[in-house]
Amino acid sequence: YSLIYKCYNNKKSSALVANIGEHIRKIRLLRNMIQGELAVAIGFEDNDYGRGRVSKYERGIRVPKEDILIKISKALNINSYY
């Protein structure tokens, strides 16, 4: 679905994980979405927990599981070559 998904399959370095998070944040901002909107779009609630998960993904603290990465790709409308 996206570079994010491709990177997940090769996530060995912390720099790569941070890069995934930077891409998520950059694209979310380009789409004029707030963290709560993305949280809802990927199946979390718009509360501290949901926004916190998105924030941790963006900051590279957590690595989203494969199913969440697919949902993020769809929510952000990222093509497979981004």
The per-residue pLDDT for 63 is: 86
The per-residue pLDDT for 13 is: 55
pLDDT value at 81 more than 50 = no
| Amino acid (one-letter) located at 46 | D
Task: Tell me the C-alpha distance between 48 and 54, whole Å.
Answer: 10
Predicted confidence band of residue 3 (pLDDT cuts 50, 70, 90): low
Look at the alpha carbons of 14, 21, 69, 1 in this order and tell me if their dihedral is positive or negative: negative
What is the number of residues in the chain?
82
